Amino acid sequence: MNSRTYEESSLKFCHGTTTLAFICRAGVVISVDSRASIGNFIGSPGVKKVIEINSYLLGTMAGGAADCFFWERNLSSLCKLYEVRNKSRVTVSGASKILTNSIFKYKNSGISMGTMIIGWDINGPSIYYIDSDGNRLKVSMIAVGSGSTFAYGILDSGYKWDLEIEEACELSRRAIFEASRKDPFSGGNINTYIIRKSGWVKVSFDDIGLLSNAAYKEKKLKKLN
């Protein structure tokens, strides 16, 4: 009989992703990859890591996909209930607090979450980082996940407050692209959103493989010339 304990024999999950968001003059820009990993294997290349909570609020997923999806969909229901009871939209701060309160009682129970709640309300644009350890931080720029270190390198070198929409979206896409090249747990597709006073809009969907091939061809042409 195998003497190994359950903990020793169970599958070890390596969570990996790259998600990012930042505030600039154009609005709040969000970009995420779409790869889900199980250990050293790719579980899915096309996970939707942006949860549309309402027309002015978005959530991102990093950590356990099932945990993030469940609790952010639950947050969407609670925000709708808040609107019905109070006849007004919940603020970004309020939504982030609802999520924090919902998961805090499950701290140290195995939940794995490193999510962002992002939106626009009467106070303007906001980004809140929330994790399963009970941390809740308001930030103006953030990258979360195994590829975040590489994404920060691109963001720090290219960010400025007065970015136009096209520049801001291109910066966010390039950060995800470079992270996916260096982090084996990030990849798939890049989904980019922007949030402004009128609400969120999905800007683009890009296949990272096609972007990589295009970059390789461009580099090869430069060498030939």
pLDDT digits over 52-104, tens only?
Answer: 999 999 999 998 888 898 999 999 999 999 999 999 999 999 999 999 999 99
Report DSSP letters for 141-187, one per residue. EEEESTTHHHHHHHHHHH--TT--HHHHHHHHHHHHHHHHHH-TT--
Average pLDDT rounded to a whole number, residues 113-122: 95
Give the pLDDT confidence score for residue 224 in this predicted structure.
52
pTM, entire model: 0.86
139 compared with 5, residue with greater pLDDT: 139
72 compared with 214, residue with greater pLDDT: 72
pLDDT tens digits along 151-165: 999 999 999 999 999
Which residue carries 């995800």 as its tokens? 176
Give the whole-angstrom CA distance, residue 123 versus residue 125: 7
Give the pair of three-digit tokens for residue 65: 């996909």
- Domains belonging to the chain, first-starting first, are 11-219 (3.60.20.10)
Q: Is 17 designated active site?
A: yes
Residue 3's pLDDT band (boundaries 50, 70, 90)?
very low
66 compared with 170, residue with greater pLDDT: 170
Q: What is the share, in percent, of the chain residues with pLDDT greater than 90?
A: 64
Give the pLDDT confidence score for residue 100 in this predicted structure.
95
Distance of CA 5 to the CA centre of its chain: 35
Average pLDDT rounded to a whole number, residues 130-154: 93
Residue 113 DSSP class: B
Give the whole-angstrom CA distance, residue 120 versus residue 142: 17
Q: Which of 17, 18, 91, 192 is catalytic?
A: 17
Average pLDDT rounded to a whole number, residues 13-38: 87
> Which helix (H) or strand (E) element contains residue 59?
strand 57-60
**Residue 7 in this model has a pLDDT that exceeds 50:** no
